[in-house]
Amino acid sequence: MKYPFLSFLLFLLVALPLSSFAQTSPTTYITWRANNFYPAGFKGKALPTPGTTIIIAAEVIKSGKLFDSSTATFSWSVDGRSALTGVGKKEYSFVATKKDSKSHFVQVSIKSGMETITGAITIPLTVPQTVIEAPFPMKKVSENIKGNIQAIPYFFNITSISDLLFSWRVNSFNKNAGSDNQLTFETGSPQLATDRLLEIVSYIQNTKGIYELATSRTQLTIIK
């Protein structure tokens, strides 16, 4: 017995491309950046600190293409609290405020017609930091030279490095705070082994936000 209808259905299954049956779910991609200070040559991801403005954006990929969300309604929330709702509002910015937590949790709901697409991301927080750059191999420096090191600030909420105050301590000697992030020192020719160790500490403070502080330290050895 022949089954013409079944034969026709099998023909359709073979003839139609697989994409006719595969329905790709829309995917939301969320990106963010922190609007704070970091060195020009920094290759990593700048992290926000309390007080940093965070700019966040969402895009939707649907059927392998960038979805036109200009007429979609975006609803943003931060840490479970509603923040912004509006048509075409695919970008949103807010100020990091948490001091007792290590992250902000951001969610977005995108409604287009009868379809609602959601997305979420966790944005890590940190504190202002500083790194002492001392160009001496193995942290050893020769006698009777003039050495130079500098303190490099990261993630302060400033627009210019001139907004920072730098101060130094070398062993028990303090240098008054100023706008110069470099320290120049002379090694001399110490006679005692204990005098050949230089304990250097850098302190940085934001003049526009007195609670933004960072400290870093390093140790150099004076060799003959």
Superfamily the domain 129-223 falls into: Immunoglobulins (2.60.40.10)
pLDDT score recorded for residue 6: 36
pLDDT score recorded for residue 24: 64
Task: pLDDT tens for the chain, 224 residues: list them.
Answer: 444 433 333 333 333 343 333 456 889 999 999 999 999 889 999 999 999 999 999 999 998 899 999 999 999 999 999 999 999 999 999 999 987 678 999 999 999 999 999 999 999 999 999 999 999 999 999 999 999 999 999 999 999 999 999 999 999 899 888 988 999 999 999 989 889 999 999 999 999 988 899 999 999 999 98
All CATH 2.60.40.10 domain ranges of the chain, comma separated, are 24-124, 129-223
Cα separations (Å) of 55 from 16, 36, 48, 98, 123?
45, 11, 10, 16, 11
Q: What is d(CA 209, CA 49) in angstroms, rounded to the nearest whole number?
A: 12
Q: Is the pTM of this model over 0.75?
A: yes
Among all chains, which residue has been given the structure tokens 């007195």? Answer: 210
Contact status, residue 203 vs residue 152, Cβ threshold 8 Å: no
pLDDT score recorded for residue 23: 52
- CATH-assigned architecture of domain 24-124: Sandwich (2.60)
How many Cβ atoms from other residues are within 10 Å of residue 59's Cβ?
15
Contact status, residue 37 vs residue 51, Cβ threshold 8 Å: no
